[in-house]
Amino acid sequence: MKQVSTVGLDLAKHVFQVHGADAEGEPVFNRKLRRSEVLRFFEKLPPCLVGMEACGSAHYWAREIAALGHEVRLIPPAYVKPFVKRGKTDAADAEAISEAVTRKTMRFVPIKTAEQQAAAMVLKARALLVRQRTQAVNALRAHLAELGIIATAGLAKVEALVAIVRDETDARLPAAARFALMAIADEIEASADQIDRLERAIVVEAKRDEDMRRLTTIPGVGAITAATIKALVPDPGGFKSARHICRLAGIDAAASFKRRQGAARTNIEDGKSGTPHSPRRWGNSRLTGCPKRRSDAAVAEGASRQTAFQGCSGRAGQQNGADHLGASEQGRDLSASRPIGDDYHHRRLIDAMTAKTI
C-alpha cells in the first residue's frame, strides 16, 4: 500500500467519507466510516495532512484529529466546490477536499478552541432570543389590534400592552383572549430577562478582554460588535486587509460614510441643521465610543467640506433595547469625529485587532 500523505474528510452526522492520496496525488483509498470509527482510523494512520470543509462540527473534529499528530486544515466550502468532479456525492466531495487542501494559494479557516466556540454561542443565543422576542411582540400587537387596542411603535411601549393583558378588570379583553395572550406576555418577559443576562455577560467580557477593549474605542463599535468581531476573527493575521474583516463581520464603513454624507448634504440643502438622525445615548459612552454631538455651525462647516458628521445614528437603538451596549447589532452604522476617508474605520479596526496604537 502506498504511503498516504493527504486525506480529505467529508463530515457528516453518522457516515463520513474519507479519501486518501499519496505525495503524487494518486488516490490510495476512498471509503466510508461510521462516526465511532473516525478517530480509530486516524490513530492508525501515520502523520499526514488532513483537509475538511469548515462546516458544522468541523472545529471539534479538527481538534480531535490534530491531537493524534496530524496536520489539519479547514477550507471554506465555496473554495472546495470548483474541485468537485461530476455530480455531488460524498466520495466526490472527499476527493475534492483532498485536492483542494494541497493548493499553495488556498485560504484556510483558523481552528477555533472550545472557548472561542462558546463565546460565539453566547452571541448566537442572544440573536435567537431577540428574534423570538420580536416575533412574540409582533403577535401581541396584532392580536390586540384586532380588538382595537394599539400602542405606539417601540419596544418600550409594549409594557403598556402587557399591563392591559394582565389587568383582569379591563373589559376590552374577552376571557379567552386574555388567557391566550398571557402566555405571549410571559414569553416576552422571559426572553427579555434572558437577553439581559447574556448582554451583561458580554459587557463583562468586553471590559476584561484586552482586544475587545481596544475595539470598543472605535466610534460606533460597542461591546456586542466587538464580541462579534472577536468570535468571527480569532486570527486577524490571516486576512490581507481590514476591509476583508469588515465584510466578514458585517461592517461596511465606506457605505455608512457615504450614506451619512448624502443625508447630511440633503439636510443642508433643505435648510435643516444637525445630523440626519438624532443622536442617542445608550449606556456608558466610554464603552460605546459615542462622541458628543457637534454644534450646528460645526456641522454646517463640516458638510461644506464633505466631511463626516459626529454623533451616533438614531438607528442604533431601534432594533431592540439591547443596543445600549453599542451601535447597531451588526455594527453597520459607524461614525467618525474628524474628516475621514472610506478606509478610516477599516484601518482603525485592523489596528485594534493587531494591538497597534489607535
**Residue 33 within a domain:** yes
Distance of CA 64 to the CA centre of its chain: 26
SS (H, E, C) 282-343: CCCHHHHCCCCCCCHHHHHHHHHCCCCCCCCCHHHHCCCHHHHHCCCCCCCCCCCCCCCCCC
Maximum mean pLDDT: which of 204-208, 255-259, 319-323: 204-208
Taking only the tens place, the pLDDT of each residue in 197-255 is 999 999 999 999 888 898 888 888 889 988 888 887 766 766 667 666 666 655 555 55
Q: What's the rounded Cα separation, in Å, for the pair 15 and 26?
A: 24
Residue 138 shares a structural domain with residue 192: yes
Taking only the tens place, the pLDDT of each residue in 1-49 is 578 999 999 999 999 999 999 988 899 999 999 999 999 999 999 999 9
Q: How many domains does the chain have?
A: 3
Q: What's the rounded Cα separation, in Å, for the pair 150 and 6?
A: 64
The whole-number average pLDDT for the span 169-176 is 92
pTM, entire model: 0.67
User: What pLDDT score does 270 carry?
Assistant: 52
Contact 98, 51 (CB under 8 A): yes
Which 3 state secondary structure label does DSSP give 28? strand
Specify the range with the lowest mean pLDDT, choosing from 136-145, 272-281, 333-342: 333-342
Cell digits for 7? 486525506
CB atoms < 10 A from the CB of 57, how many? 11
Domain boundary among 76, 100, 124: 100
Listed residue (296, 292, 127, 286) closest to 198, CA to CA? 127
The whole-number average pLDDT for the span 313-330 is 36
Listed residue (112, 104, 64) closest to 233, CA to CA? 112
**Residue 215 within a domain:** no
Contact 339, 306 (CB under 8 A): no
The H-or-E segment that residue 50 falls in is: strand 49-53
Residue 342 shares a structural domain with residue 286: yes
Residue 158 shares a structural domain with residue 85: no
Cell digits for 184? 405571549
Domain, as residue range, for 271: 231-353
**Residue 44 within a domain:** yes
Taking only the tens place, the pLDDT of each residue in 131-164 is 999 999 999 999 999 999 999 888 888 999 999 9
CA angle 2, 107, 346 (to 5 degrees): 170
How many angstroms separate the Cα of 35 from the Cα of each of 12, 19, 46, 77, 302?
A: 8, 15, 20, 21, 62
| Helix ranges, the chain (H) | 38-44, 58-66, 77-80, 90-100, 114-146, 158-166, 175-208, 210-215, 223-232, 242-249, 253-269, 285-288, 296-304, 344-353
Residue 258 shares a structural domain with residue 347: yes
Specify the range with the lowest mean pLDDT, choosing from 22-36, 81-95, 158-172, 304-318: 304-318
Q: What's the rounded Cα separation, in Å, for the pair 112 and 327?
A: 27
- Give the HSE-up count for residue 9: Cα atoms under 13 Å, Cβ half-sphere: 31
Which 3 state secondary structure label does DSSP give 238? helix
Strand-strand pairing, 27-34 and 71-75: unpaired
Distance of CA 226 to the CA centre of its chain: 10
Residue 121 shares a structural domain with residue 183: yes
